[in-house]
Amino acid sequence: MTNVTRIKTDAEQTLEQQILSPSLAGNPLRAAGRDVFVGKGLPHRRVEEYKYTDLKALMRKANPVAGETTPQALASVVETLRATARAGEIRLVILDGLFRADLSDLAVLPAAVTVTSLRDVLAKGAADTMAVLAGPAIATDDPVISLNAALVSDGVVIEVAAGAMIADALHLVHIVTSATPVSLHTRSAVILGAGASLGLIESYQSTVPGHQRTDVLNVVVGDGARFEHAVAKSDASAIDLATITAVIGADAKLQSFALVTAGDVTRRQHFVRMEGNHSVLSLKGANLLNGRMHADTTLVVEHDSLHCESRELYRSVIDGEAHGVFQGKVIVRPGAQKTDGKMASNALLLSESAEMHNKPELEIYADDVACGHGATCGEIDEGPIFYLMSRGLPRPQAEALLIQSFVGEVVDSVGDVALGDHAEALRDGFTSAIEAWLAQRGAS
Amino acid sequence: MLSISNLHAQIADDGREILKGLSLDVKPGEVHAIMGPNGAGKSTLAYILAGKEDYEVTDGSVTLDGEDLLDLSADQRAAKGLFLAFQYPVEIPGVANMTFLKTALNAQRKARGEPEILTPDFMRLVREKSALLKINPDMLKRAVNVGFSGGEKKRNDILQMAVLQPKICILDETDSGLDIDALRIVAEGVNALRSPDRSFVIITHYQRLLDYIKPDVVHVLSDGRIAKTGGPELALELEAKGYADYQTAAA
């Protein structure tokens, strides 16, 4: 090994300055993250997990960290929140990187749910909560999680008491009011007691494009608990690096769905550890990409228990010069017998220059398991197109219908686990977002 | 109504000529049967009329009520009143049959400058036509042709025809893969649509379908052109003697 000095990019230098800023001194997550980041910098194509999403190349400059919300911006947010309140959901607001109890619907929060800002949790430093916030071991080496730890400003920790079935979904609303591109680093956690049930929605709002964001959500699903998570990623950010980690107990269920329709560079990564027997995991998503968008879905699922089922299904629709990436790794630890795993990534390429990279991986150390994966890439089938056109649909409409049906399959299961009465409205919202993406495609 | 004159066409990919000067004239209300040996160009004719892009027309013309069809895309031809019932109707996963019917009907109405059909009117239309074709309401809710039996797919195609109410219907080997009961239901559906201003071109290998749908004119298609034209008795003659007289070296 030769000793070489790493050349730091403009973005890396700015990020280091931000990490070393005294304003973050009170953050106990920072030390570990800082050391990893200062040592390794942004991950690049020679780091296996980032081969197709070379952040060193994709992130030329680091934006300044989000500043305080102006009174005018705050007034406008208050107004918007008032106008968009909906029955069946309880909103928790993260505004310009800070959890805002005053803007959140805490008045209607069920007694079994405790919501605390990350800053308060870090200040107390309770060992068990800190362990949750650090995430499972399979995720600790990830450079983006380290960067997030080093720079995290705030977030929210949601705890649901054992046995509590929460009917209304919680809605984590990420709002950025800055009129110029900024960076945001937030981390949240969901801790479900045994037999509890919760649905969590996440959405993003910003007034200008070009923000850079890292966000980590650490989830602990207790024995017999159910957690469902659904995200609509529709704001035009420059860089959006979202991580979800989860540790799942016995007889539990976790389902997560994400729809990505905007953002220059998006990476959504999941690190899930199946720790208890007889649990079910379902990860699904749809990425609709155009222009020069780049979207990466990276999954690491670790089976370390008996009789668990994992299902991963992702659909990508790629137009223009956009790039899609799917990396899915399923690890079956020794003794994790009767594991039933199925993973699939299917991509539809709509243009000559659209690209999709599929990298499914299975690492199996147990001998009595059923695991499989499939990855496909293709153009829209001309057979169905001709059939639809022969019935009177013009080509763009025929294509749109087939694309909708292609992604519709993953949207259909939203609400199957724990989103309650809100699921239908949510599915309708996803469908509208897909229609809007298709309309924009038709117009261009 | 439908007038095909000296039609020459080849496969776009390899330039192989399939139709070699085919002419045909279908008058309003007439039912024409096109029979012929394998490889004569029967299905190619159906696809070319419907506007499939895999073929290239090198000579000749096709008009519907005097309007040139060859310059139109498949959807424009559909809006002008041309309908093709497929030999193998295509499965469209994720699109409900009912949604598809309504989308197709409204797309055609829009192309013709007509207003969208009102939902109650549409429901009534579909209910009436599906009862005629013995289509289970459950089939309307399912994805288009997905998990349908061969007979259900064909009935579903005829249902689309009944709802879209075209001027000229081309049936491409609609009898293939049908048992005798399904054949009768499909034939009844077609017969119910016969009218003085709607014409049919029925492409088939066998005379059997013509027992149920009585043709006015029967053509023998061989080696890319019409080799013989006659009345219904021609179909019986073919059934008895086979296509030996019309067999080409290539087939």
Angle at A245 (CA atoms; ends A27, A175), nearest 5 degrees: 65
3-state secondary structure of B125: helix
Q: How many residues does chain B have?
A: 251
Phi-psi region of A3 (alpha: psi -120 to 50; beta: other; left: phi over 0): beta
Asked if A142 contacts A243 with a C-beta cutoff of 8 angstroms, the reply is yes
Q: What is the mean pLDDT of residues A154-177?
A: 97
By C-alpha distance, the chain B residue nearest A396 is B75
Q: How far apart are CA A258 and CA A243, in angstroms?
A: 12
To the nearest whole angstrom, how far is the Cα of A421 from the nearest Cα of chain B?
23
Cβ(A185)–Cβ(A147) below 8 Å: yes
Choose among B186, B166, B190: nearest CA to B176: B186
- Using alpha carbons, select from A176, A89, A94, A434 the residue that is nearest to residue A285: A434
B2-246 domain in CATH 3.40.50.300? yes
- Check residue B111 and give its pLDDT: 96
Contact B78 A408 (CB under 8 A): no
pLDDT value, residue B248:
55
The pLDDT tens digits for A7-62 are 889 999 999 999 888 766 667 788 878 888 888 899 999 999 999 999 999 999 99
Cβ contact A8:A16 at 8 Å: yes
- What Rg do the C-alpha atoms of chain A give, in angstroms? 21
- Residue B250's pLDDT band, with cuts at 50, 70 and 90, is very low
What sign does the dihedral B8-B12-B16-B18 (CA atoms) show? negative
From B242's Cα to the closest Cα of chain A, the distance in A is 32
Q: Which two tokens stand for residue A255?
A: 């389902």
| DSSP secondary structure letter of residue A292 | T
Residue A393: band (very low, low, confident or very high) from pLDDT cuts 50, 70, 90: very high
| Cβ-proximal residues to A206 (8 Å cutoff; 6+ apart), any chain | A175, A176, A177, A178, A235, A236, A237
pLDDT greater than 80 at residue A444: no
Average pLDDT for chain A: 94
Query: A388, A397, A434: best mutation site toward chain B, by most B Cβ within 10 Å?
Result: A388
Dihedral sign (CA B175, B178, B183, B187): negative
Let me know: does B150 contact B94? Beta carbons within 8 Å: no
Q: Residue ranges of the domains in chain B?
A: 2-246
Cβ contact, residue pair A393, B95, below 8 Å: no
Tell me the per-residue pLDDT of B159-196, one tens digit each, with 9 for 90 and over.
Answer: 999 999 999 999 999 888 888 888 998 899 899 999 99
Cα gap B175→A340, rounded to integer Å? 44
Q: Are the C-beta atoms of residues A333 and A304 closer than 8 Å to each other?
A: yes
Please indicate whether, in this complex, the C-beta atoms of A405 and B51 are within 8 angstroms of each other: no
What pLDDT score was predicted for residue A305? 97
ipTM value:
0.95
What average pLDDT score do residues A297-315 get?
A: 97
* Shortest Cα–Cα distance, B60 to chain A (Å): 22
d(CA B115, CA B105): 11
Tell me how close the Cα of B77 comes to any Cα of chain A, in angstroms. Answer: 8
Write out chain B residues lying below 8 Å of A408, CB-based: 94
What sign has the CA pseudo-torsion B225, B227, B233, B237? negative
- What count of other Cβ atoms lies within 10 Å of the Cβ of residue B151? 17
CA distance B81 to A243: 54
Is the pLDDT at A300 greater than 80? The verdict is yes
Classify A356 in phi/psi space as left (phi over 0), alpha (psi -120 to 50) or beta. beta
Q: Where are the domains of chain A?
A: 10-276, 381-444
Distance CA A212, CA B199 (A): 63
Rounded-to-integer distance, Cα A65 and Cα A72, Å = 20
- Higher-confidence residue of A39 and B80: namely B80
pLDDT of residue A4: 65
Dihedral, CA atoms, B23, B27, B28, B29, nearest 10 degrees? Answer: -100
User: What's the pLDDT score for residue A87?
Assistant: 86
Question: B75: number of CA atoms within 13 Å, CB side?
Answer: 23
Residue pairs between chains A and B whose CB atoms are closer than 8 Å: 77
H or E element that contains B193: helix B180-193
Chain B residues in contact with A383 (beta carbon < 8 A): 90
pLDDT of residue B8: 96
Do the chains contact at A386 and B74, CB–CB below 8 Å?
A: yes
